[in-house]
Amino acid sequence: MADEGNACGARCGRDGRELMTDITVDTLRDWLAGHKPVTVLDVRTQEDRDQWSIPGSIHVNAYESLRLGRSDVLASIEIPSQAPIVTVCGRGQVSQIAAHQLRARGLDAGSLIGGMQAWSLAWNVAEVPLAVSDARLLQIRRTGKGCLSYILGSAGSAAVVDACLEPSVYTRLAEAHGWRIRRVLDTHVHADHLSRSKALAEQCCAILFMPEQHRVHFDFSPLSDDAVVHVGSTALSVLRTPGHTEESTCYLLNDSCVMTGDTLFLGAVGRPDLHANEKEARERARWLFRSLRRLQSLPQHLLVLPAHASLPVAFDGVPLAESIEAVFEGLSSWFTSEDAFVERLLSRLPPTPPNYRQIVELNENGASPAVDVTELEAGANRCAVS
Ligand SMILES: [Fe+2]
C-alpha cells in the first residue's frame, strides 16, 4: 500500500485512512492497557522468544530470513483481525523490515521502536484486594522484565515498595488516586534491577526506608524487626527475613497481605548466593529456611506479594498473589528438614543474572548508571529457585 506523510506528519493510505507509524513502548503499553485491538507480531528466533515476550503476542520465527532480505517470509502469515500490527524484534531493526513487508501487503503495520530491549520498561497495574477499607494497594508489574512493585495508598498518603520503574510512573499513579507519596521502601538491596527508590524518595521529598544494614552508602531511615511504618491511616509492619540477602525484609499490611521481596515467590524461594561465597551462601540458605518458616506461621489467608514474576505479566488487571496457605502447600516438598532444604536450594541455583555485580554496586552507591538502563538490566530475573 502506498503511503505518504500528510501535513501533520501522519501517514495516510490511498483511501485517506491514517496508517500507523513505528510506535513507542509507551504507545503500545497504553493500547494493551486500554484493551485496544492490536496484533503484536514477534519475529525473533524461538530461543529469544523463550527468554521473554509480550503478553498476547503471536510468533513467527522469521528473524534470520528477514535479516537475509527474503521478501516472502511473512507472505503466508495469517493476521487474526484487521487490527493494526506491531512487529517486534530484539532492538527494533529487523522488525522494521517485517513492518515494511506487511505494509506492502496492504496491512496497517508498524515496528516497535527499540524492540524488546525498550519493552523492558513496559508496565501494567492490578489492584490487590484488601481486607480493610481505609487503604488501597496497587501492584505495578514491570511486564517487560517481571519486577513487581507496590503502591499503598491511605488517607491521601502513599508508600511505594521496591520501585523498579522511573519515578514518574509512581508519581502519576499516586496523583491519579489522590495520594501524595510520603514513604518509599525497599525490601533489600536488589541485584537484578536498578532500584529507583532513592530517586523517587528525593523527587517526592518522601522518607526513604530500608532494612537496617551497612551495605548502602547513602542516607536512609533504617528498619529493624517489628518496626512500623505509618502510611495515612494504615501501617506496614517490618519482618526481618534474612536469607536471599542478609538484610532481606518483608512488609506486612495488617490482616491483608505480606510483601515478600525476593524471599518468597508464588512458586519458588529466594536464591541465597548472590554476592556471597560458597560458605556464606550455605549460611544464608539456613537463614532463609528459618525466615520462610516464620512467614509460614503467619495467618494462612494473608496474600503473598512477591517482588518478581517468572513470566511476562498479562494486561489483565489480575494481581499476582496467592495465600500463604496455597504458596506453602505448593512448596511443601521443600520443608522436610533444614538440612534437606539447604542441599536442595544449593543444588538448584540458576545462572547468575548478567551484570548483577554492576547493578549491586550502583544500588549500594545510590548512583545513576552512565549507560542505558535497559542494557544494564537486560535478561530475565533470576532471583528465584524452584
Ligand atoms: Fe533480589
**pLDDT per residue as tens digits for the range 38-71:** 999 999 999 999 999 999 999 999 999 999 989 8
Query: Ligand 1 centre from 19 Cα, in Å?
Result: 43
* Cell numbers found for residue 127: 489492584
Residue 18, pLDDT score: 60
Start-to-end C-alpha separation, the chain: 50
Contact between 238 and 224 under an 8 Å Cβ cutoff? The reply is yes
- Hey, how many other C-beta atoms are within 10 angstroms of the C-beta on 177? 13
Query: Ligand 1 centre from 305 Cα, in Å?
Result: 14
289: nearest Cα among 239, 344, 238: 344
Predicted TM-score (pTM) of this structure: 0.93
Query: Ligand 1 centre from 188 Cα, in Å?
Result: 7
CB burial of 85-120 (b: ≥16 within 10 Å; e: otherwise) equals bbbbbbebebbbbbbbbbbeeebbbbbbbbbbbbbb
DSSP strand pairing (234-240 vs 269-270): unpaired
Query: Ligand 1 centre from 75 Cα, in Å?
Result: 44
Residue 147, pLDDT score: 96
Query: Ligand 1 centre from 248 Cα, in Å?
Result: 8
For every one of its 386 residues, what pLDDT tens digit does the chain have, with 9 covering 90 and above?
333 333 333 455 545 556 678 999 999 999 999 999 999 999 999 999 999 999 999 999 999 999 998 988 888 888 776 789 999 999 999 999 999 999 988 899 999 999 999 999 999 999 999 988 899 999 999 999 999 999 999 999 999 999 999 999 999 999 999 999 999 999 999 998 999 999 999 999 999 999 999 999 999 999 999 999 999 999 999 999 999 999 999 999 988 999 999 999 999 999 999 988 999 999 999 999 999 999 999 999 999 999 999 999 999 999 999 999 999 999 999 999 999 999 999 999 998 877 899 999 999 999 888 788 888 888 777 788 99
Query: Ligand 1 centre from 285 Cα, in Å?
Result: 14
Query: Ligand 1 centre from 379 Cα, in Å?
Result: 14
Residue 329, pLDDT score: 98
Question: pLDDT, tens digit, for every residue of 278-325?
Answer: 999 999 999 999 999 999 999 999 999 999 999 999 999 999 999 999
